[in-house]
Amino acid sequence: MSEPNTAPAGIDVGPVTCWFASEVPGARPPLRFDLIPGGRSNLTYRVEDGAGRAWVLRRPPLGPILPSAHDMGREHRIMAALEPTPVPVPRMVGFCGEPEVTGAPFYAMEFVDGLVLRNPDVVAGVPEAIRWTAAESLVDTLAVLHDVEPAAVGLGELGRQDGYCARLLRRWSAQWEQSKTREIPLIEEVAERLGRRIPTQGPARLVHGDYRLDNAVTDPANGRVRAILDWEISTLGDPLADLGTLLVYWAEPDDEFSPLFWAPTVAPGFPTRKHLAERYAERSGRDISDLDFYVALSLWKVAVILEGVYARFAAGAYGNTDDSHRQIGTVVPQLAEAAAEATARAGG
């Protein structure tokens, strides 16, 4: 049974408790709120009631946020729409669009028990056979996601269906201008080069936008994915962009750096990026001959995203921080260089 606690930043205990008691069937105050560490965007909390039931609450970061960013209603809508499909997502239990409750809109979902393979310390307790299964299950789940017809689950109007990569380049270029803390000319150069090399897009699918191992909950017994999390930047578009993102975050032992610090996939037992790409092609039936373009695009986008995270860390938007924001600031130029190299391989 939980004990009431001093709530972490971003939670106003009284109003949020009242909301749970009113909107979440069976919730029994008092509630305990604990910040789930590791996120670099929205704030995520574990909520436990007096009977020991658990949920997850998601809200935007503290302080000012960029326009159109951190849309809790959109993330809630996407996961609710996917619940009847084979795509594993947590069950939604409620959305609060009134910022006066705790300073920003938020939503609550069921807590999915399992492992989030976020760093080598977690991976160290997982057998190598389970690591391999988790990797393949993640890829297979991506193929399942990209098989969903958006209109069939009520998401056909989630966004424009054509010109995804061009729209992504425009959007994140604008975000760069709003959030950058220094000049990195290669960011603008890579965006221009990618804009001249965009492949022809096939039928639009739901694009997760941040598809990676640490945004999945896996079953510790067999490695299969139990839930895909963090849908905040999902939209309709080119599904191969998700594959590019997965590969960018999938570090290998000989890599010079990774956008994920202490990347879990450098441990023994995980397959290579090549294996993941080939398995996705097999499971999805998609042509991946333009994969270098999507890898370059993802490297560039992650550089822009991390610059925004770096700016928010420096401004104190995540409450008390350690020195990790300095590491984030260092990796942004490295990502820009890697994006330029991948763009050259793609013929851009």
Confidence of residue 323 (pLDDT cuts 50, 70, 90): low
Give start and end residues of each alpha helix (H) in the chain. Answer: 13-23, 72-82, 120-123, 128-145, 164-179, 185-195, 240-249, 273-284, 291-314, 324-345
Give CA–CA dist 301/58, Å, rounded: 23
The stretch 165-190 carries a mean pLDDT of 94
Q: Of 326, 324, 319, which Cα lies nearest the Cα of 61?
A: 319
Give the number of other Cβ atoms within 10 Å of residue 157's Cβ. 10
Strand partners, 45: 35, 57
Give CA–CA dist 244/277, Å, rounded: 9
The stretch 92-119 carries a mean pLDDT of 95
For the chain, how many helices (H) and strands (E)? Answer: 10, 9
Give CA–CA dist 197/186, Å, rounded: 17
C-beta pairs of 322-328 under 8 Å, 24+ apart in sequence: 324/261, 327/261, 328/40
Q: Phi and psi of 159, rounded to 5°?
A: -175, 175
Task: Answer whether 0.85 is exceeded by the pTM.
Answer: yes
Give CA–CA dist 267/286, Å, rounded: 29
Weakest mean pLDDT among 136-140, 231-235, 284-288: 231-235
Q: What is the pLDDT of residues 229-267, one digit of tens each?
A: 999 889 999 999 999 999 999 999 999 878 877 789 999
Q: Look at residue 321 and tell me whether its pLDDT is greater than 60.
A: no
pLDDT of residue 231: 94
pLDDT of residue 29: 95
The stretch 87-105 carries a mean pLDDT of 96
Q: For tokens 């159109």, what's the residue?
A: 68
The stretch 87-109 carries a mean pLDDT of 96
Weakest mean pLDDT among 24-38, 119-133, 193-207, 314-328: 314-328
The stretch 220-234 carries a mean pLDDT of 95
Confidence of residue 281 (pLDDT cuts 50, 70, 90): very high
- The whole-chain average pLDDT of the chain stands at 91
Task: For CA atoms 135, 140, 143, 148, give the dihedral sign.
Answer: negative
